[in-house]
């Protein structure tokens, strides 16, 4: 998409959102005075229709306004985070800096969703929009928000769905989010709704996260390019007595790496390399050793015992391309 097209789209969005972006400051009116009145909704919807379908912020905001919710200005100091953390990356990432710069230049186009704090009168709790709150806090400007009464379960579902619709959580973030919810006694039905996941996938994610030390997962971070199979490999390394991962975390250069790079460092450090004298024996359900695997840092060699499994070698070779593609597909999920 050319820079001219992007510029025109931003200009159209900014002009359309003028009733919101150009609202009075917090000093000019009471904090909770609505800044979008119902009379503006029809003309705003017409403006929305003129935008292309990939104007995601416009679509989400239109739904919120159509449901009768007004946008208000809040002080970031009066807003506390959700009681369940979902994202592992902090506010030092390149994505966050891009968001902050965008809000500084164009204003906050998409409001956050909050509920009145259940424990602190006059305070609010985020359902979604943590990064937008932090960006406006750092910029020293009010936060545009929709305030809605939400139960704990409502907040969890809203938080999970917003993350999936705007920027997918990584595999490990989804799993850790689900495990934390379960630890708080949240039912599987609510967790399934929040993550839009199948029951089997949810069970797999939670069971895998339980095999990994949370300290290690949070130190690695979101690792957006790392899928389930490689996290399973790391869990297996730890269970097989891989090297002490805490020493890896103490390395001064570790925190300066990207999240995906940190995962690779830990995986390599915990991988137990078998020598030629220590092949891995593969045993079938009948108790017979049907193959041996020889693994090194650069290659894996599989030797099938043709006497025990005379047809298995040919069967395996014929299906390896499909198995490899299935592995790649899982990596991307």
Residue 25 CA to residue 30 CA, distance in Å, equals: 9
Query: Do strands 300-304 and 79-80 pair parallel, antiparallel, or not at all (unpaired)?
Result: unpaired
Average pLDDT of the chain is 76
220 within 8 A of 263, measured Cβ to Cβ: yes
170 within 8 A of 222, measured Cβ to Cβ: yes
What average pLDDT score do residues 307-323 get? 90
Is 193 or 231 the better-scoring residue by pLDDT? 231
Residue 100 CA to residue 91 CA, distance in Å, equals: 10
Residue 300 CA to residue 140 CA, distance in Å, equals: 55
Res 201: pLDDT: 84
Residue 293 CA to residue 122 CA, distance in Å, equals: 63
What average pLDDT score do residues 69-92 get? 78
13 within 8 A of 21, measured Cβ to Cβ: no
What residues form DSSP beta bridges with 80? 125
Closest by CA position to 143, among listed 97, 110, 99, 98 = 110
What average pLDDT score do residues 188-199 get? 80
The winner for highest mean pLDDT among 79-93, 206-220, 273-287 is: 206-220
91 within 8 A of 221, measured Cβ to Cβ: no
- pLDDT greater than 60 at residue 9: no
pTM beyond 0.85:
no
> What DSSP assignment string belongs to 237-249?
HHHTT---HHHHH
Residue 280 CA to residue 239 CA, distance in Å, equals: 16
Please give the share of the chain, as a percent, with pLDDT higher than 70: 71
Is 54 or 91 the better-scoring residue by pLDDT? 91
- pLDDT greater than 90 at residue 92: no
**135 secondary structure, DSSP code:** H
Rg (CA), the chain: 25
- pLDDT greater than 80 at residue 197: no
| Site of tokens 């932090």 | 134
């Amino acid at each position: 998409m050319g820079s001219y097209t992007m510029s025109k789209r931003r200009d159209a969005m900014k002009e359309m959102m003028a009733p919101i972006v150009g609202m009075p400051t917090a000093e000019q009116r009471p904090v909770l005075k609505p800044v979008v009145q119902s009379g503006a909704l029809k003309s705003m919807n017409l403006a929305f229709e003129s935008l292309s379908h990939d104007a995601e912020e416009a679509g989400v905001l239109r739904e919120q306004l159509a449901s009768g919710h007004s946008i208000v200005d809040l002080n970031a100091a009066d807003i506390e985070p959700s009681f369940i953390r979902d994202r592992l990356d902090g506010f030092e990432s390149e994505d966050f800096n891009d968001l902050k710069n965008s809000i500084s230049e164009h204003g906050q186009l998409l409001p956050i969703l909050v509920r009145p704090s259940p424990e602190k009168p006059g305070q609010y709790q985020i359902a979604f929009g943590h990064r937008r709150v932090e960006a406006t806090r750092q910029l020293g400007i009010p936060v545009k928000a929709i305030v809605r009464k939400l139960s704990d379960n409502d907040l969890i579902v809203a938080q999970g769905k917003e993350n999936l619709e705007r920027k997918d959580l990584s595999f490990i973030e989804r799993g850790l989010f689900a495990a934390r919810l379960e630890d708080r006694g949240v039912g599987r039905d609510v967790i399934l709704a929040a993550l839009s996941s199948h029951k089997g996938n949810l069970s797999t994610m939670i069971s895998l996260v339980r095999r990994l030390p949370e300290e290690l997962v949070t130190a690695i971070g979101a690792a957006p390019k790392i899928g389930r199979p490689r996290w399973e490999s790391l869990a297996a390394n730890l269970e097989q007595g891989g090297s002490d991962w805490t020493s890896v975390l103490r390395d001064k250069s570790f925190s300066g790496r990207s999240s995906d790079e940190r995962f690779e460092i830990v995986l390599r450090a915990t991988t137990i390399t078998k020598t030629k004298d220590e092949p891995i024996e593969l045993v079938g359900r009948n108790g017979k050793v049907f193959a041996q695997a020889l693994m090194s840092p650069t290659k894996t060699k599989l030797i099938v015992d043709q006497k025990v499994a005379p047809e298995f070698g040919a069967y395996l070779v014929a299906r390896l391309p499909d198995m490899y593609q299935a592995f790649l597909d899982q990596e991307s999920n």
